Chain A
């Protein structure tokens, strides 16, 4: 029984870590612009798909990964430059709709470019499961979890210790004051799209050996990541990470112990409950309403 529990738990942590990475991307862009970027799931898809195809074209794996990340960052910046920035001054809802349009466009582009079939990426360190207390875990799951931890630590350092990171935090909490002290808000917005495209593509590469890569892979991951971001308190990156894990683990435990039919409902029930009880998110300290 405890082996089963561990199995469910590891499944939940792996899935939760991917939700967390996607949720982080949502949070970062929201912080810089108050835009909810619904193309976040497509960044994940692009990371995985591009790696598959660069690798398939004969590039060595590390180079293929780097190229895929670079390409996704470029697309993220292009999205900001050519779709979000020209609509500056438009309402937030308009901007959100623009990102939905961008997500459909990117999915269509991937279908045209790479076909509609699904593809796999070889796992980084083999596919022989590791036995942990009776639960069988794929090495790739550890890569996903490990990758998430590294990214979270790096981001924490970036936001708290570097001038650019601090500038991002500053413009998130008070755009006007940030501009007055000489922070280039345009650049920060561009940077936030680049950063979340990078996060998305890294997540896509890490999970591609598990989730496979296909044009539609980002739809559900994007939605679940969005749930994580809301649950963690929109714009609270660490909250998004914890919330992603909570959603992933509760899904796995529901599937394992109650019924898999209710698995997907769990995430949304948690969100509804949180929106009722703690509208600012599970991990917000509350009180500081930003206008």
Chain B
């Protein structure tokens, strides 16, 4: 295995430096800080794992080039679990028992994160996950954190916007993917408390190419004031196109699952007027200079896009925030002592990341609130920030 070979090389390198006598007297201090990771680099969830891997590699190299953390280099040990929880378990065991990592920054999907948690909790290693669902940190697990916003926050943000506009009756359409279903559940759970009524609740299948029957039905539902879509990928654009085709005129909301430029481009005008909550990173160009995240998110975007040639996605941002929170905590702890690092991660406050502003504590292992989303509307084919 490559990581193993790499480990031997670093040990050899450390031995040589020691023999030459360049390094400081404390051999321990020259050991790299081991960051363990398992991501869905390939497979169906690779759209998550691929930017996460690139981000981790890019910034680990950058940090090492700048002299490392507390005088030690970072070493990334990364396995591809293809987003499949069955693959995750052996990798987690290997990272914990053989690689003896200091911290885990891993888990592209909720499934693989949940599969890893029992082992991580038992071994007592700080673990920052990039998985989406709220279940990862709610209820709080001692060693487990996560950086991505949850769909709960997104739905709350949408409901806040609707309420401000006097909308209380929503027609919901959702897809059949994990993201879509979880979002639909949040809408159903949060609606009563927010004074919202879901008057229509339609779904469509994976890979469907035409949603006009569902939208026609929602349009014809008595009392409906706004249309909301929970979904991801190509379906977001298809829904927007169908919506325009049917000449529907009520307000159209989608979620952060649609917050990508390809949503606007491929909807061919259908996205005009669609409102959605987005991570600051995705809409960084539309943010005013005064926005607290403008600088951090802008710098990450510039670096990612120039190094990889890919356009930015919020997923890489999850990895960026996870890595930076970990690095800051290790700096403050002054060591990689796991309990100390854990305590310092929990002390993270007002940390400005690409995804939002984190305020972690022993009782909140996500640290983001509704304010981490920016409500935007599509105007003239671009994002326009709403007040």
Contacts and interface: CB of A to CB of B under 8 A. Distances in A.
B216 A120 contact: no
A11 B234 contact: no
A263 B173 CA distance: 14
Contacts of B207: 216-217, 219-221
A157 interface: no
Nearest to A216: B207
Nearest to A254: B213
A59 B237 CA distance: 25
Given A118-B266, A129-B247, A263 B204 contact: yes
Contacts, number: 99
Contacts of B310: 115
Interface stretch (A25-33, A173-181, A205-213, A277-285): A205-213
A81 to B, nearest CB: 28
Contacts of B212: 7-8, 10-11
B205 A129 contact: no
B212 to A, nearest CB: 5
Given A7-B216, A129-B245, A212-B237, A120 B209 contact: no
A261 B203 contact: yes
A120 B266 contact: yes
B203 A260 contact: yes
A211 B245 contact: no
B268 A127 contact: yes
A14 B210 contact: yes
B233 A207 contact: no
Interface string B191-215: 0000000000011111111101110
Contacts of B216: 4, 7-8, 256
Interface string B215-249: 01100100000000000011001100100011100
A10 B216 CA distance: 12
Contacts of B176: 264
B220 A210 contact: no
Contacts of A14: 210
A129 B246 CA distance: 8
A261 B27 CA distance: 62
Contact of B213 (A8, A127, A207, A210): A8
Nearest to A209: B268
A194 B108 CA distance: 40
B245 A116 contact: no
A260 B205 CA distance: 9
A212 B238 contact: yes
B347 interface: no
A78 interface: no
Given A220-B207, A221-B207, A263-B205, A211 B234 contact: yes
Contacts of A256: 213-214, 216-217
Given A4-B220, A11-B210, A212-B237, A117 B247 contact: no
B163 interface: no
A36 interface: no
A211 B238 contact: yes
Contacts of B46: 111, 116
A166 B53 CA distance: 55
A246 to B, nearest CB: 16
Interface string B32-47: 0000000000001011
A10 B212 CA distance: 9
Interface in A115-142: 115-120, 122-123, 127, 129, 136, 138
A96 B276 CA distance: 44
B210 A220 contact: no
A7 B213 contact: yes
Nearest to A7: B216
A201 interface: no
B262 interface: yes
Given A7-B216, A11-B212, A260-B214, A212 B202 contact: no
B269 interface: yes
A252 B269 CA distance: 25
A21 B286 CA distance: 43
Interface in B67-124: none
Contacts of A122: 268
A14 B176 CA distance: 21
A106 interface: no
A182 B98 CA distance: 66
Interface string A180-219: 0000000000000000000000000001001110101101
Contacts of A212: 234, 237-238, 266
Nearest to A120: B266
Interface string A5-16: 001101110110
A255 interface: yes
Nearest to B176: A264
Given A212-B237, A252-B213, A120 B202 contact: no
A198 to B, nearest CB: 21
Contacts of A72: none
Interface of B: 44, 46-47, 50, 176, 202-210, 212-214, 216-217, 220, 233-234, 237-238, 241, 245-247, 262, 265-266, 268-269, 310
List the 5 closest A-B pairs by CB distance, nearest first.
A220-B207, A211-B209, A118-B234, A120-B266, A255-B213
Given A7-B246, A120-B268, 9 more contacts: A116-B46, A118-B237, A118-B262, A118-B266, A136-B246, A212-B234, A214-B233, A221-B209, A253-B213
17 contacts: A4-B220, A7-B212, A7-B213, A8-B216, A116-B47, A119-B262, A119-B266, A123-B268, A127-B245, A129-B245, A210-B210, A211-B234, A212-B266, A253-B213, A255-B204, A256-B216, A259-B202
Interface of A: 4, 7-8, 10-12, 14-15, 18, 111, 115-120, 122-123, 127, 129, 136, 138, 207, 210-212, 214, 216-217, 219-221, 252-253, 255-256, 259-261, 263-264
